[in-house]
């Protein structure tokens, strides 16, 4: 069945430009096809779809107020209807007309992926690359203002991205699939991830399935968690895109999004955004059972939803300025539990209690599981970190600050002060290693930090490894520097 489709050239569409041409957005094509199917099959479910393909750009000439297109619509099975959007073109000489297909999708019941746990969705993982949205749109995805709907700071990391998304009001009225702008902006986030971690410019060319649980509302704010899942050859990345409202309710999940390098060498990735292969936490990671790091500024507003009643109560006792650090440590410990206790179905975040009944000691085992690992957690003004091992373990993360040197006489022995004075690292960095190593020892042995100042002494201070005498036992402390922050981990054998 073939039906005419009129595409209105609204002014905002001029901002969707690729290689200096205004082209029709993929998300708008989906809406036009949904409208065409609804007109022919009024009872068809449209909020679930599969096998989408964005085959070729549909250019929108600036001088045209509207364009004529066609929708080919065919029932596929008992629940599915396939629709494709095409335009009619004449061959040179004008003797033959043919149809150029631009987009295709099947509206059908689907089996969506198992929802990711909210603690996985609500923040970045590991050392993040903060990308201001202004820079994203100025240098990586150069669309005009109407399509600049990733907001604030986009956080990119090896395992994906998190970002805030806007759904601005437009002049097109109500839509069957909800506002197209949040998913479109999530595509931009995925494109930025591809440029940083795969060094090519990838645009969406299709997806495996999509389920819209709550259509996006114009004027509202949303958040996305973008997860790279696979690669196809050297030029295609697969992503799952999860979109949440401000309260953490899942609104839209699009699985198997294919982002492809369709430009080859015509669009180059700026050198400044490309990631190197260096993992600053590698030496620590190799020596323990698990580690999770959370950038505090990447935590999304609904993250408090992952806290158990006990965790919420403990958090309320914290100073308001430090509650985000409390939430970050809880996220890190819950994620650590997922690393240590793998199952077919993910645990809900509320089933992973991260604070013992004493309100002090960390935990990282799901409900019903015996905690088989020792764990520790820490946070400073940028990071929260949780680690686990098969021996008593302590972790600390601290920012370099002058007070560590000013108070050296309080927590250092005279030998340690002498080591710091002649350290090739500089006195500040050496003092930071002394402080964090003693913090770790106090946590590993469950001894007050003030007592540990005299019960532990550093015998060697190195950039990534120090030797600490803890109550007569020589143990290794491992360090990792990230900018002006230092991570330190220390394990001891049970006495």
Cβ–Cβ under 8 Å, residues 175 and 158: no
Domain limit, last residue, from 273, 294, 317: 273
> Buried b / exposed e across 50-68, counting CB within 10 Å, b at 16+?
bbbbbbebbebeeeeeebe
Q: Is the dihedral of CA 422, 425, 428, 429 positive or negative?
A: negative
DSSP 288: S
**Per the domain annotation, does 112 fall within a domain?**
no
**Per the domain annotation, does 441 fall within a domain?**
yes
Prediction pTM value: 0.94
Write the DSSP string, 382-441.
SEEEEEEESS-EEEEEEE--THHHHTHHHH--HHHHHHHHT-TT-HHHHHHHHHHHHHHH
Question: Which residue is associated with the tokens 């709907």?
Answer: 149
**Per the domain annotation, does 53 fall within a domain?**
yes
Number of domains in the chain: 3
What is the CATH number for 446?
Answer: 3.90.470.20
Identify the CA nearest to 399 among candidates 468, 322, 316, 483.
483
- Same domain for 175 and 320, yes or no, is no
Which residues lie below 8 Å from residue 73, measured CB to CB, with a gap of 6+? 1, 2, 3, 36, 37, 40, 41, 81, 82, 83
**Per the domain annotation, does 113 fall within a domain?**
no
Q: Please give the distance of CA 373 from its chain centroid, rounded to a whole number.
A: 27
Strand 160-166 relative to strand 150-157, pairing: antiparallel
At residue 266, the pLDDT reads 81
DSSP 23: B
Identify the CA nearest to 377 among candidates 360, 389, 394.
394
Cβ–Cβ under 8 Å, residues 363 and 353: yes
For 281, 420, 421, 424, 471, the CA distances from 417, given in Å and listed in that order, are 27, 5, 6, 14, 19
At residue 95, the pLDDT reads 63
At residue 265, the pLDDT reads 75
Which residues lie below 8 Å from residue 217, measured CB to CB, with a gap of 6+? 167, 178, 179
Task: Round the CA-based radius of gyration of the chain to a whole number and report it.
Answer: 27
- Same domain for 429 and 286, yes or no, is yes
- Same domain for 150 and 92, yes or no, is no
Domain limit, last residue, from 273, 294, 323: 273
For the record, the structure tokens of 214 come out as 């709550």
At residue 236, the pLDDT reads 95
Question: Which residue is associated with the tokens 């002649």?
Answer: 422
**Per the domain annotation, does 342 fall within a domain?**
yes
- Same domain for 144 and 227, yes or no, is yes
For the record, the structure tokens of 147 come out as 């399509």
**End-to-end alpha-carbon separation of the chain, Å?**
78
Q: Which residues make beta-bridge pairs with 70?
A: 4, 86
Write the DSSP string, 88-145.
EEEPTTS--EEEEEEEEEEE----PPPPPPHHHHSS--SS-EEEEHHHIIIIIS---G
Question: Which residue is associated with the tokens 């939430």?
Answer: 327
- Same domain for 303 and 442, yes or no, is yes
For 135, 282, 490, the CA distances from 148, given in Å and listed in that order, are 11, 36, 45
What is the CATH number for 247?
Answer: 3.10.129.120
- Same domain for 221 and 192, yes or no, is yes
**Per the domain annotation, does 450 fall within a domain?**
yes
For 215, the domain range is: 118-273
- Same domain for 224 and 259, yes or no, is yes
d(CA 255, CA 288): 33
Number of residues in the chain: 495
pLDDT, averaged per 10 consecutive residues of the chain (495 residues), comes to 88 88 94 95 94 93 84 87 89 71 95 92 97 97 95 97 94 85 98 96 96 96 97 92 97 97 86 93 95 98 96 90 94 95 79 93 89 94 97 97 90 96 96 97 94 94 96 93 97 81
- Same domain for 242 and 303, yes or no, is no
At residue 232, the pLDDT reads 87
**3-class secondary-structure state, position 59:** strand
- Same domain for 472 and 429, yes or no, is yes
Which residues lie below 8 Å from residue 314, measured CB to CB, with a gap of 6+? 326, 355, 359
Which residues lie below 8 Å from residue 250, measured CB to CB, with a gap of 6+? 115, 213, 242, 243, 244
- Same domain for 98 and 142, yes or no, is no
- Same domain for 239 and 303, yes or no, is no
Name the phi and psi angles at 140, rounded to 5: -110, -40
Using left for φ > 0, alpha for ψ between -120 and 50, and beta otherwise, residue 359 falls in: left
For the record, the structure tokens of 174 come out as 């109500």
């Amino acid at each position: 069945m073939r039906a005419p489709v009129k595409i209105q050239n609204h002014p905002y569409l001029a901002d969707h430009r690729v290689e200096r041409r205004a082209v029709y957005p993929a998300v708008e094509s989906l809406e036009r096809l949904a409208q065409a199917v609804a007109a022919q099959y009024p009872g068809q479910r449209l909020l679930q779809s599969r096998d989408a393909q964005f085959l070729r750009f549909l250019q929108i000439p600036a001088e045209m107020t509207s364009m004529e297109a066609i929708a080919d619509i065919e029932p596929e099975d008992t629940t599915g209807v396939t629709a494709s959007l095409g335009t009619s073109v004449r061959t040179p000489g004008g003797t033959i007309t043919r149809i150029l297909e631009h987009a295709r999708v099947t509206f059908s019941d689907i089996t969506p992926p198992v929802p990711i746990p909210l603690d996985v969705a609500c923040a970045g993982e590991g050392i993040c690359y903060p990308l201001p949205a202004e820079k994203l749109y100025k240098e990586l995805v150069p669309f005009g203002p109407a399509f600049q709907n990733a907001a604030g700071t986009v956080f990119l990391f090896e395992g994906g991205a998190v970002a805030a998304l806007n759904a601005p009001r437009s002049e097109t009225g109500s839509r069957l699939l909800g506002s197209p702008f949040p998913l479109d902006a999530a595509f931009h986030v995925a494109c930025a991830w591809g440029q940083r971690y795969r060094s090519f410019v990838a645009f969406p060319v299709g997806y495996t399935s999509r389920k819209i649980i709550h259509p996006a509302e114009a004027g509202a704010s949303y958040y996305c968690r973008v997860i790279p899942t696979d690669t196809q050859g050297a030029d295609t990345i697969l992503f799952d895109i999860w979109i949440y409202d401000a309260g953490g309710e899942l609104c839209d999940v699009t699985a198997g999004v294919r982002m492809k390098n369709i430009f080859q060498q015509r669009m180059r990735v700026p050198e400044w955004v490309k990631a190197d292969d260096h993992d600053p936490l590698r030496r620590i990671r190799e020596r323990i059972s698990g580690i999770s790091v959370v950038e505090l500024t990447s935590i999304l507003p609904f993250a408090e939803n992952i806290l158990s009643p006990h965790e919420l109560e403990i958090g309320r006792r914290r100073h308001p300025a430090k509650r985000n650090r409390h939430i970050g440590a809880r996220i890190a410990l819950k994620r650590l539990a997922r690393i240590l206790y793998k199952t077919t179905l993910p645990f809900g975040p509320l089933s992973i209690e991260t604070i013992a009944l004493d309100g002090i000691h960390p935990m990282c085992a799901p409900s019903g599981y015996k905690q088989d690992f020792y764990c520790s957690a820490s946070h400073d003004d940028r990071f929260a970190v949780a680690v686990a091992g098969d021996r008593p373990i302590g972790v600390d993360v601290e920012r370099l600050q002058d007070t560590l040197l000013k108070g050296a006489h309080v927590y250092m022995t005279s030998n340690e002060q002498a080591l710091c004075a002649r350290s090739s690292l500089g006195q500040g960095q050496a003092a930071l290693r002394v402080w964090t190593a003693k913090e770790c020892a106090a946590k590993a042995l469950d001894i007050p930090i003030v007592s540990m100042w005299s019960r532990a002494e550093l015998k060697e201070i190195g950039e990534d490894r120090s030797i600490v005498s803890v109550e007569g036992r020589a143990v290794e402390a491992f360090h990792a520097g990230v900018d002006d922050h230092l991570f330190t981990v220390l394990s001891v054998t049970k006495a």
